[in-house]
Amino acid sequence: MENSLLSNAFITFMKEAPEHAKVWGEMVQGLAKASALDKKTEELSYLAVLAAFGMTSGIPFHVKTAKEAGATRKEIISAILVGLPVAGYFVTQVLPAAIETYDND
């Protein structure tokens, strides 16, 4: 993935704490291997969680990954909005970043 899809905070984390970043990366890879979800479903689910927490910084990276795994624009929008009943309007705040990334990829 190109660095423009990574937040400044994440790039700083990787640069300034490489040992922690390595361990974190290994943990993420281990969780992915343990998951019963296919890559597309996992990425759509992750987008839903990011939206529920209002974490726009992770949206471009995970939209691109979901798209590469076969997710459609409509599926990405639906994944983001799945938390609307629980998290409310808050989840809509990530839509612009998601749509821009999907359309410009």
Confidence of residue 3 (pLDDT cuts 50, 70, 90): low
User: In 41-78, which positions are buried (b, 16+ CB within 10 angstroms) versus exposed (e)?
Assistant: bbbbbbbbebbbeeebebbbbbbbbbbeeebeeebbee
Task: For residue range 4-25, list pLDDT tens digits in order.
Answer: 788 888 899 999 999 999 999 9
Structure pTM? Answer: 0.85
Which domains does the chain carry? 3-104 (1.20.1290.10)
Query: Residue 1: pLDDT above 60?
Result: no
DSSP element (H, E) containing 102: helix 95-104
Task: For residue range 43-84, list pLDDT tens digits in order.
Answer: 999 999 999 999 998 999 999 999 999 999 999 999 999 999
